[in-house]
Structure 1
Amino acid sequence: MYSFLSFTLVTLSISICLHSAISQASPHPRPFNKVYVFGDSYTDTGNLNDTTTRPSIFQHVDSLPYGRTFFHRPTNRYSDGRLVIDFIAESLNLPYFPPYLNKTANTTHGVNFAVSGCTAIPFSFFLKNNITSVVPQSLTTQLTWFKDYIKGSGCNDAVSTPAECKAVFDGALVWIGQISANDYNYINLIGTNVTSKTVQKLAIKYQTQVINELLKMGAKYVVVQGLPTTGCFPLSFLLVPPPTELDQIGCVAIKNKESYDHNMVLQAKLHGLRNKFPSAVIVYGDDWHAYREVYENAGKYGFIERFRTCCGSGGGAYNVVPDPRRTCGAPGVMSCKHPSRYMNWDGLHVTEGLNRVVSKLFLDGAFAEPPFPYLLKKAAESGV
């Protein structure tokens, strides 16, 4: 029989262990009180639902089984559940960032301007080159939306000073999600004389301009995601004509090199911006190497299907066909029983399971430059 002292010590020990476990599982203390988000379908939390044009292939994002895993309903996210930006919100102890075009949403802690299918290069370029099946919004559109959002704050145009924009950027993180993959995809899907090098030059030009403008306005903490290993997505295997050369991890070599080369130029531009704005912290999110890590070691992270699409049709090695009547969400198209075992969701977008792993790799600091914990530390030191 325990004495009262023994009972007290056991109770105290359990309490300490529980507190320790809860502390380890808890997200970071809130280093930022709001986040402004930009990007494409890998980051969009619902803006596409309120635009007039949808990507020509994946049209059914407002139908189950999109959203089935976590939300249990479609939320206009191109996944079965949460995106990387949702896991970032959780880690920062903030609510999910609502889409800008949802005018009734509470945007106290952030707003998401990302649009599925959008490009880094303005829409006019694609029209000029007879590439018409393109979502008309671009990253420049998102910057315009951001300026409309902050109207009345005293920070309204490109000539505004950081002092005038203090209220906008105090306690704010700017997140530039993946962008430019669609620029490359559109020229591959439609067939054109526009080269990959031309897309690279223009896409990075416009992306750098937007980041530069946000920094000039007073942004102090910025995360910029690079492109992932786009050659590992099932649709890439269908778009690149045979014979398809595969790289060391079994992905389409030319597409992975395209993304890798894009990222190298982007990182050089970010280095220049760090020199130009030395008081800002600009983090590069190395999605390419994070994805490669998971594709090389799929079993280690709990995945059994690297390339086969969970939600699609057509069977075969990839279970996807470039036909909107037979892609995920279309009537009669089924999804796999266990999405968490799959890396690819609908042929071009990934599962919540892969988003979870990639976000953890980023948050832990191994696939970011400088590491994400460094950004949190700098924000805390400055009293954000």
Structure 2
Amino acid sequence: KSSMAKPLGTSNFTLVLIIFLYLLTYCFHIHIVECQCQKTKRKASLFIFGDSFFDVGNNNYINTTTLDQANFNPYGETYFKFPTGRFSDGRLISDFIAEYAKLPLLPPFLHPASQHSYYNGANFASAGAGALVTTFQGSVIDMETQLKNFKKVKSWLRNKLGKGKSQNILSNAVYLFSIGSNDYLSLFVTNSSISISPQYQQMVVGNLTTIVQEIYKIGGRKFGFLNLGDLGCLPGLRMLNSSNKNGCLEKASNMAKLHNAELYNTLLKLEKQLEGFKYSLYDFNSSLRERIDHPSKYGLKEGKIACCGIGRFRGIHSCGGKRPVGHKFELCQNPNMHVFWDSYHLTETSYHQMAAEMWNGPSTFKSLFQC
């Protein structure tokens, strides 16, 4: 028998040729798409909504009290070296997300020169705001007003760029939310008699859902959310726990859990109902609790006591000495070693770590910005 290989039959050769040409065409198509993507696609813009976790100074420009402002020392001391209005010693999660997305730090929407950055996005967040209009009403920029401000940016972009290009920016943009904490915190701060029922959580999440659906109607498709932190473990609420000196205030922690379950289920529903709706939900609650319980795992030393404030856990919100709760406050030497900056907010170090987790972790936030 001959050991020579048999020549390919005509039909086999044709099949191989077809497969080869298909693969070549497919790879070429992918390459072309990638090239076009890199050439024509500008960076995705970032529109930020919410409360003091994201407020970069909008409350500097409204008639409110110092309880909802952070435009005095020692706020901002670590990074900016002066107070910007951020409730931290430095940058916030939203600042780091902008940096990772290769965008500049977005100024507060109410800053007189903010329109120069509308092509990159805008920050509408207001310290003290909740999903409910009634939360700290009159002292904050509520979510409905934040939505109105977004619509002003939409009109500005349309006037500058025309309908097509402006719509392209809005549909390619990412919409980031941190909202809800104040709807529950306000009940403790104001000694409200409202008994918390599942209906209350549904109302809070329902109001957020309405805002999201409005943005979807305008063209928004990509959304990012932080769920609520463990509210009862914030120094400002932990200090209220009289039954367990070192324990978290369980009633507040349970409210956050119920809210987060409602938010999780609502987002799953929206994904099914709204065509093209994409979202990323960062588990801020677990991330914060991890650092509170095991600070050393994250290069930190103190998980319960705030860096700035006074009283048990430095839970009295007197940081800076400009608030009606009192002029006395203590300030730690090294904020980088603390989870909490003041009674309710975190240090830049904590925010930086969390933003990195959010960007690279299982919440797939980075993918919202990808081409």
**Normalising by the residue count of structure 1, what TM-score does the alignment of the two structures yield?**
0.77
What does residue 120 of structure 1 align with? 131
What does residue 183 of structure 2 align with? 183
What does residue 141 of structure 1 align with? 145
CA displacement at 1:207 relative to structure 2: 0.3
In 2, the alpha carbon distance for the partners of 1:153 and 1:48 equals 24
Residue 272 of structure 2 aligns with an amino acid whose one-letter code is: N
**Residue 358 (structure 2) pairs with residue 362 (structure 1):** yes
- How many percent of aligned residue pairs carry the same amino acid? 27
In 2, the alpha carbon distance for the partners of 1:325 and 1:294 equals 25
In 2, the alpha carbon distance for the partners of 1:300 and 1:87 equals 21
The one-character-per-residue Cα deviations of 1:156-176 (angstroms, maximum 9, x if unpaired) are xxxxxx979624414311111
User: Cα 1:75–1:252, aligned 2, differ >3 Å: closer, same or farther?
Assistant: same
CA displacement at 1:275 relative to structure 2: 0.8
What does residue 84 of structure 1 align with? 93
User: Cα 1:82–1:324, aligned 2, differ >3 Å: closer, same or farther?
Assistant: closer
What does residue 353 of structure 1 align with? 349
CA displacement at 1:347 relative to structure 2: 0.8
> 2:109 aligned to 100, 113, 117, which one?
100
CA displacement at 1:208 relative to structure 2: 0.5
CA displacement at 1:31 relative to structure 2: 7.5
- Does the aligned pair in 1 maintain the 2:60–2:85 contact within 8 Å? yes
What does residue 282 of structure 1 align with? 279
What does residue 67 of structure 1 align with? 76
User: Cα 1:328–1:364, aligned 2, differ >3 Å: closer, same or farther?
Assistant: farther
CA displacement at 1:152 relative to structure 2: 4.9
The one-character-per-residue Cα deviations of 1:348-377 (angstroms, maximum 9, x if unpaired) are 1111111111112211223x2xx224434x
User: Cα 1:310–1:136, aligned 2, differ >3 Å: closer, same or farther?
Assistant: closer
**Residue 236 (structure 2) pairs with residue 235 (structure 1):** yes
> 1:42 aligned to 33, 36, 53, which one?
53
The one-character-per-residue Cα deviations of 1:302-332 (angstroms, maximum 9, x if unpaired) are 1111111111123x4x123256885789756
- Does the aligned pair in 1 maintain the 2:52–2:87 contact within 8 Å? yes
User: Cα 1:328–1:365, aligned 2, differ >3 Å: closer, same or farther?
Assistant: farther
Structure 2 unaligned regions, length at least 5: 1-40
Q: Which secondary structure does the structure 1 equivalent of 2:339 belong to?
A: strand
Q: Which secondary structure does the structure 2 equivalent of 1:98 belong to?
A: coil
User: Cα 1:212–1:301, aligned 2, differ >3 Å: closer, same or farther?
Assistant: same
**Residue 199 (structure 2) pairs with residue 196 (structure 1):** no
In 1, the alpha carbon distance for the partners of 2:306 and 2:322 equals 10
Q: Which secondary structure does the structure 1 equivalent of 2:211 belong to?
A: helix
CA RMSD of aligned residues (A): 2.7
The one-character-per-residue Cα deviations of 1:173-204 (angstroms, maximum 9, x if unpaired) are 1111x211111111111122322235322211
> 1:319 aligned to 301, 309, 314, which one?
314
1:142-221 matches, within 5 Å, as 142-153=146-157, 166-176=167-177, 178-197=178-197, 198-221=199-222
CA displacement at 1:75 relative to structure 2: 0.5
In 2, the alpha carbon distance for the partners of 1:289 and 1:68 equals 28
User: Cα 1:91–1:328, aligned 2, differ >3 Å: closer, same or farther?
Assistant: farther
The one-character-per-residue Cα deviations of 1:66-120 (angstroms, maximum 9, x if unpaired) are 0000000000000000100011111111111111001213323121000011111
Q: Which secondary structure does the structure 1 equivalent of 2:304 belong to?
A: strand
CA displacement at 1:153 relative to structure 2: 4.8
Q: Which secondary structure does the structure 2 equivalent of 1:354 belong to?
A: helix
1:265-304 matches, within 5 Å, as 265-304=262-301
> 1:305 aligned to 296, 299, 302, which one?
302
Structure with the bigger percentage of helix: 2
What does residue 26 of structure 2 align with? none
In 2, the alpha carbon distance for the partners of 1:202 and 1:193 equals 17
- Does the aligned pair in 2 maintain the 1:184–1:199 contact within 8 Å? no
What does residue 6 of structure 1 align with? none
In 2, the alpha carbon distance for the partners of 1:170 and 1:133 equals 31
User: Cα 1:193–1:328, aligned 2, differ >3 Å: closer, same or farther?
Assistant: closer
User: Cα 1:320–1:191, aligned 2, differ >3 Å: closer, same or farther?
Assistant: closer
In 1, the alpha carbon distance for the partners of 2:245 and 2:264 equals 27
In 2, the alpha carbon distance for the partners of 1:305 and 1:353 equals 12
